Every structure is written in C-alpha cells, then in structure tokens.
Amino acid sequence: MIIPFTKMQAYGNDYVYIDATKVHVDDWADLAIKVSNRNFGVGSDGMILICDSDVCDFRMRVFDPDGTECEMCGNALRSVSKFVYYYKMTDKIDLTIETIGGHQHVHLDVKDGEVINIHADIGKPVFDADRVPVKTDERELFNVPVKILDRTFYMSSLSWGNPHTVMFIDDVDTLDIKKYGPAIENHPMFPARTNVTFAQKIDDNTLKIREWERGTGETIGCGTGCCTAVVFANRLGMCQRCVDVHQIGGILHVDWDESDHVHMVGPSTVVYEGEYYYEA
C-alpha cells in the first residue's frame, strides 16, 4: 500500500503527517512504529493523522514512535492547521481541531497565500495528580524534591492531554540530558511515563529549555514543554505570564492569559513530501 505523507516541523517536533480522510489502515499503531523508526529515511518523532470530525473542522490523532496513541501535542496541532490550509482541505484561518484531550483553537497568520505564523490556544493546564498522572500523596506535584541518580531535582508536573514534568536548573546547556532524561521519563512515580522539560530562567520575560520527549529522546524543541515551563515559572514567581522560550529549534512565544488559557505562537515548516510503502 502506497501512503502519501508530509514531514513537518514546528520548532522541534518532527512528525510524519498523513491525510487519513483519504487513506485507511487497519493498524495505525503498527504504521506509526514503522514510519517513526529512525532506521528509515522517513524517521520522525511520531505520526499525526488528519481525520474528519463531526464536531470540529478536523480531528487530530497523535502517535508516539512506539505506537502509543496520546492525546495532544501543541507543535503537532500547529502543523496540522498549516497542513489542511497548505493542501487546500480548507480555506479557513480560524480552526477548531478535535483531539482526545479536547477541542483546540488555532488561528493562522496568512500573507500572500502562505501561512507565516500559527497561534494555538491549547486550553487550561491540568494539575490534578490523578489526571497528569503522577504517583504522589499530594493533589499535585509542584516543586517537589526528587532524587534522580546522583542529584536532586525540584519537579512540577501537569498535563496538556500528555504528561509533562519540568525542573528549573541553573544551566541547561551543560546538563547531561541523556543521563537524566530517561531516568526521569521512566521513574516509578510516572506510571504513564512523562515528557521531561529542563528549564532555565534568563530574565523575567525569557526562559530557555531542553526537552527529553518520552519514547523519542531529546528533541530540538517542544511546544507543550515550553508552555509547561512558563506556567510553573510564573507560579514560582520567576517570570511574567507572557514569555519567549528559547530552545534548540527556535524561539516560541507563550502567553498564559488571565482566563487561564495558554497560547503558543510560532511557525511551522514543510520539511518534505513523499510516499511510504506499507506492508501490514
């Protein structure tokens, strides 16, 4: 079976996108594993399906490289919005995208027919430990010291439909992320594993992060990781609600507004288009 795909990147997350309104596969999880396998030229951080929706403009399904379907990814959401405009599946610049985690709202900045920036409202952060999920006696995990290998990190966790944990340290550039990232991702306190954000305060309006993405490893950026860092930095009195977050892939603008919604603003890039021969 020949499956057309587009590889897109939105400040870090490098996904394979498939128009599932035109393609049907019985086992999407198996396909996700195969197209995400880094031994293939197609290799990616995961697979995104664009599907029809009865309640929104489109529905997005997100698959990790190990085939696990997860609820949401902010960078994937932004790229999906560009995808449907780029391939003329819609001419709307204000879109509502259905995800397992809820209905997400996106606005496209278009100039001369090209999408130059994407504003995504990813909703309110969830702190409840049962919904993150995280094993703790407290109602949420907020700035709690946890011993990881040979050092102690102060951890905070939330969910955007997928779990994220953030730790603020003095210098993210010198951290051995390959040492501590997987140790935190697979720590017993995170039964569903967690995405790991290491964050550093630059000033009141600027943070810097490095991201260890569950099932993938270090990425050049992560939209929901940026948002997680801003939310907890603000709760800790380290920054304002409107912040630029520097990551390897670029600077993502994040705004946690007074209604408790978090907005991320940044571009998305079509890396290349191709076809994948899939055998079930």
- Residues 114-123: pLDDT tens digits? 999 999 999 8
29-38, 50-59, 84-93: least confident range: 29-38
More confident residue, 215 or 19: 19
Give the pLDDT confidence score for residue 45 in this predicted structure: 75
Query: Does the pLDDT of residue 41 top 70, yes or no?
Result: no
DSSP string, 32-59: HHHHH-TTSTT--SEEEEEE--SSSSEE
User: Tell me, what amino acid is at 10?
Assistant: A
Q: What is the mean pLDDT of the chain?
A: 92
pLDDT in tens, 146-163: 999 999 999 999 998 889
pLDDT digits (tens, 9 = 90+) for 185-197: 999 999 989 999 9
Residue range(s) of every CATH 3.10.310.10 domain in the chain: 2-123+266-277, 144-259
At residue 13, the pLDDT reads: 73
In this prediction, residue 43 carries a pLDDT of: 56
State the pTM of this model.
Answer: 0.85
pLDDT at 11 over 80: no
Look at residue 38 in the predicted model and tell me its pLDDT. Answer: 54
The span from the CA of 239 to the CA of 230, in Å, is: 7
Q: What percent of the chain shows pLDDT beyond 90?
A: 75
Given a cut of 50, whether residue 39 has pLDDT beyond it is no
Which pLDDT does position 10 carry in this prediction? Answer: 84
Instruction: Look at the domain 144-259 and name its fold.
Output: Diaminopimelate Epimerase; Chain A, domain 1 (3.10.310)
Q: Which residues are catalytic?
A: 73, 222
Nearest of 181, 183, 208 to residue 196 by alpha carbon: 181
For residue range 241-277, what is the model confidence (pLDDT) as tens digits?
A: 999 999 988 899 999 999 999 999 999 989 889 888 8
Token look-up 């409202």 returns 121
CATH topology for 2-123+266-277 is Diaminopimelate Epimerase; Chain A, domain 1 (3.10.310)
Give dist(CA 173, CA 100) in Å, integer: 34
Q: Is the pLDDT of residue 113 over 80?
A: yes
pLDDT (average), residues 130-154: 96
Query: Crossing angle for the helix pair 223-235 and 74-86, nearest 10 degrees?
Result: 140
Output the pLDDT for position 42: 54
pLDDT of residue 78: 92
